[in-house]
Amino acid sequence: MKADTISIEAQGIKIKGAPDRMVQLLMAGLLAHTLPPAANVQPIVPAGIPALGAEWPGQGGVNGGLVAARGDVPAHYLIIAAKDVGDREWGGRGTELKGLSKTDGYTNTEVLCSDDEKHPAANACAEYQADGHHDFYLPAAAELYQGWLNCPEVFAQDCYYWSSSQRSADGAFIMYFGDGTQSYGVKGGELRVRPVRRFFI
């Protein structure tokens, strides 16, 4: 016995199928024309993820936003420590270290902390602990910029912060959260320091 089928033809295109399937296609087409565009639909926020700049319980700080995967570092959330660790020198003035990045503060901090020269800003971040986490680091220039884009209000607005990204033998990149200015400072100067960590999901 042959199953019942119906056909729909419009503008030279013919579709043939079971009656119930054809009704579904017609209804989907009608709804697509009557409902508001998808752009007006609010995005679904995964349960348990706090708003940008809000405290993330158990993670040692606030939600600094999702960071896309880059190289061998998987996608993760940037957790910004709830408080600064004071003003520190970047350290190592006159020495240009190899292997430092504008995006990977974790690796930068490992390099700085293993260097023979003293790097007080990086060391202060590596020693920072919160909620049982001991994997904080001095953020790279791109990570500080993400903080400014997503939650600048959690940083002091009247001072510069060190990044772990080196500019030259004498300078490193810095960030001013009052207006989002990125510049560079002399490694021997004392600037504000804020640890961050990664939360992989």
Indicate if the pLDDT at residue 159 is higher than 80. Answer: yes
What is the edge-to-edge ordering of all strands in the sheet holding 181-186?
Answer: 87-89, 190-192, 160-166, 171-176, 181-186
Q: Is the distance from CB of 100 to CB of 172 less than 8 angstroms? A: no
Overall average pLDDT of the 154-176 stretch: 97
**SS in 3 state form for the chain?**
CCCCCEEEEECCEEEEECHHHHHHHHHHHHHHHHCCCHHHCCCCCCCCCCCCCCEECCCCEEEEEEECCECCECCEEEEEECCCCCEEECCCCCCCCCCCCCCCHHHHHHHHHHCCCCCHHHHHHHHCCECCECCCECCCHHHHHHHHHHCHHHCCCCCEEEEEEECCCCEEEEEECCCCEEEEEECCCEEECCCEEEECC
pLDDT on residue 90: 98
Indicate if the pLDDT at residue 32 is higher than 90. Answer: no
Indicate if the pLDDT at residue 9 is higher than 90. Answer: no
* pLDDT tens-place string over residues 68-86: 999 889 999 999 999 999 9
Overall average pLDDT of the 175-198 stretch: 97
pLDDT on residue 41: 47
Which burial class, exposed, middle or buried, applies to 155 when counting CB atoms under 10 A from its CB (0-12, 13-18, 19+)?
A: buried
**C-alpha torsion sign, points 92, 93, 99, 100:** positive
Contacts 24+ apart (CB under 8 A), 3-8: none
pLDDT on residue 10: 67
26 falls in which pLDDT band (50, 70, 90)? low
20 falls in which pLDDT band (50, 70, 90)? confident
The domain limits of the chain are 6-40, 55-199
* pLDDT tens-place string over residues 89-102: 999 999 999 999 99
Overall average pLDDT of the 39-50 stretch: 60
pLDDT on residue 18: 72
48 falls in which pLDDT band (50, 70, 90)? confident
Indicate if the pLDDT at residue 116 is higher than 60. Answer: yes
Which tokens belong to 89? 């020198």
Residue 116 CA: distances (Å) to CA of 112, 121, 125: 9, 15, 17
Q: Is the distance from CB of 6 to CB of 17 less than 8 angstroms? A: yes
pLDDT on residue 44: 44
176 or 5: which leads in pLDDT: 176
